[in-house]
Structure 1
């Protein structure tokens, strides 16, 4: 396991221990970075207009299309660290 993989795993554990729930946009960023880091580019079809949450999740993932997994992991770790310090919401 590489250093970034260890940091990513620790960040996944840390995010569940945050004292304050992040805002919806931050949750979308966390979701998209996590999925890009662990699964890669979105391959499924864009959800229909009746699936609002699915549409936003898809668009957040689509914005990261082509981002290498290690870059997504690094950005996820940095975001979680900022949340732990109270610098992002």
Structure 2
């Protein structure tokens, strides 16, 4: 099943029977944040919070991408992952 909206894609991720790889999860996070909030303008996480820093960097890497484009990429990426994890 290929999602057509952000809400459908989000719902589909909850049906995954396996956990995606860390790289896939970071890509999902970055695309979702860019799609819903636009460019990352927050402060970089401090020191040894590696998970927060990775999430921050994933979102920051999408700076300048339109929310519409990020939304479509998120939907397409979830559709591809669903073939692997459902």
**TM-score normalised by length of structure 1:** 0.86
Runs of 4+ in 1 over 4 A off after TM superposition: none
Query: Which of 72, 75, 78 is the equivalent residue of 1:77?
Result: 75
| RMSD, matched Cα | 1.3
Q: Which has the higher contact order (CA 8 A, sep 6+)?
A: 2
Number of equivalent positions = 82
Distance 1:9 1:22 in 2: 19
Which runs of 5 or more structure 1 residues have no equivalent in the other structure? 1-5
Which runs of 5 or more structure 2 residues have no equivalent in the other structure? none
Alignment match, 1:53: 51
**TM-score normalised by length of structure 2:** 0.89
